[in-house]
Amino acid sequence: MKTWINIFWLGLKELRSVFSDVMIVVLIVYAFSLDIYGQATATSESVNNASVAIVDEDHSTLSRSIANALYPPYFKMPVLISPAEIDEGMDLDKFMFVIEIPPRFEEDIRANRQPTVKINIDATAVTQASLGNSYIQNIVFDEVNHFINRSDETTDYAVTLVQRRAFNPNGTGMWFGAINALINQISMIMIILTGAALLREREHGTIEHLLVMPLNSFQIVMSKVWANGLIILVVFMFSMVFVVEMILDVPIHGSRLLFVGGTILYLFAAAAIGIFLGTLAQTMAQFALLMIMVIIPITMLSGGLTPIESQPDIIQPVTWLLPSRHYMAFSQAVVFRGAGLSIVWPQLLIMTGLGAIFFSASLALFRRSIAVSH
């Protein structure tokens, strides 16, 4: 019982230390509010407000109907320009797309001559350029077919395909981006707080005061885990309710209690990694370098940026050692698919096991790291 009382009071000391550092408080608030909103809304899987210009050398009904079919929110209102303005407009990044409609375009369509419409594309924004090109091609084909047939053309196929988009019917990419950003922030901030807390004790010389007290390494390490974990858990729940659900309007289909419970297990695993890095590093500079080496794989190989199955075969087995991979799978299952404990228990078990391994390694290295520093 005395062990847990010591852990409680040491944790309170850690809480006071964190809240007394204004920069850390600002970082935590920003990371779980504006940064998540920015990451969720900055990237789009569809064309949005793409700038487009039209060189209309035909000035016909058909060319005007093509121009009128390009409208927000996919495209900005088209700008009519001359052929001489194409190069300058694209060089100055005024237009992502420039559509050139040749002279006698409508006349050639009527005569069934198959004229050429040229689409100039600024491909520096690769995804938007590729999607926008497909959008424009479909718009031109639809308008031409409608003009020829004087009605919307329909085709009877031998097979009828019925699509059912489960879990995200409208294909809103922001939903996935918000959860991915939230998970990345939990990983980064939790590792930073716990590792920095250990190094702060060492650099301030207070770690020696703790070691001469009737305390063991388990009590010192565990106090930092629960104190920093509590901070991240509170801001996580705040961000989940006010940023993800209310502002970004991301629905939570599964149990919120299960989601919070899984997050607690992941916080333990992330904190153990932070403590482990804190025992390896002797200074904050070394810890920062280790953070770069660890955070990038944790975020890139978690399955949030690309599915695990799409990653190189040699990398996929390594991802099993990352708690973030299993937390990502757990979060997607609970949040989007409404999965219950009977489905996600393997991810919870693996996260707990990996956290225990890193925590045990941290305890084993803790005394040795203190001795090396002297």
pLDDT digit string, tens, across residues 223-254: 888 999 999 999 999 999 999 999 988 888 88
What pLDDT does residue 205 have? Answer: 62
Q: Which long-range contacts (CB under 8 A, 24 or more apart) does 211-214 make?
A: 211/370
Inform me whether the pLDDT recorded for 171 exceeds 90. Answer: no
Q: Rounded CA gap, 51 and 129, in Å?
A: 11
Q: Which of 273, 165, 172, 285 is nearest to 224 (CA)?
A: 273
Q: If you average pLDDT over every residue of the chain, what do you get? A: 85
Q: Hey, what are 295's tokens?
A: 């955070």
What pLDDT does residue 151 have? Answer: 56
Least confident of 75-79, 157-161, 196-200: 157-161
CB–CB of 102/93 below 8 Å?
A: no
Q: Rounded CA gap, 243 and 249, in Å?
A: 8
Q: Which helix (H) or strand (E) holds 229?
A: helix 217-238
What pLDDT does residue 207 have? Answer: 64
What pLDDT does residue 112 have? Answer: 86
Q: Rounded CA gap, 151 and 135, in Å?
A: 20
What pLDDT does residue 222 have? Answer: 86
Torsion of CA 197, 199, 203, 204, to 10 degrees: 20
Domain covering 52-149, topology: abc type-2 transporter like fold (3.40.1710)
Over residues 291-312, the pLDDT tens digits come to 888 888 888 888 887 888 888 8
CB–CB of 352/327 below 8 Å?
A: no
What pLDDT does residue 368 have? Answer: 66
Over residues 33-68, the pLDDT tens digits come to 999 988 888 766 677 788 999 999 998 989 999 999
Q: Rounded CA gap, 231 and 75, in Å?
A: 43
What pLDDT does residue 329 have? Answer: 92
CB–CB of 367/217 below 8 Å?
A: yes
CA angle 226, 227, 230 (to 5 degrees): 80
Q: Hey, what are 266's tokens?
A: 């992941």
Distances (CA, A) of 344 to 55, 239, 301, 322, 357: 56, 23, 19, 16, 21
How confident is residue 155, by pLDDT bands cut at 50, 70 and 90? low
The pLDDT of 86-115, averaged and rounded, is: 89
How confident is residue 313, by pLDDT bands cut at 50, 70 and 90? confident
What pLDDT does residue 208 have? Answer: 60
Q: Rounded CA gap, 165 and 320, in Å?
A: 29
What pLDDT does residue 99 have? Answer: 93
What pLDDT does residue 219 have? Answer: 82
How confident is residue 214, by pLDDT bands cut at 50, 70 and 90? low
Rounded to the nearest 5°, which phi and psi values hold at 122? -85, 100
What pLDDT does residue 351 have? Answer: 94
What pLDDT does residue 346 have? Answer: 94
Q: DSSP character for 50?
A: B
Inform me whether the pLDDT recorded for 89 exceeds 60. Answer: yes
Q: Hey, what are 64's tokens?
A: 């005007």
The pLDDT of 342-352, averaged and rounded, is: 94
Q: Which helix (H) or strand (E) holds 18?
A: helix 2-19
Over its C-alpha atoms, the chain yields an Rg (Å, rounded) of 28
Sheet strands side by side (includes 52-56):
79-80, 52-56, 97-101, 118-121
Give the pTM: 0.78
Domain ranges of the chain: 2-43+171-373, 52-149
The pLDDT of 271-299, averaged and rounded, is: 87
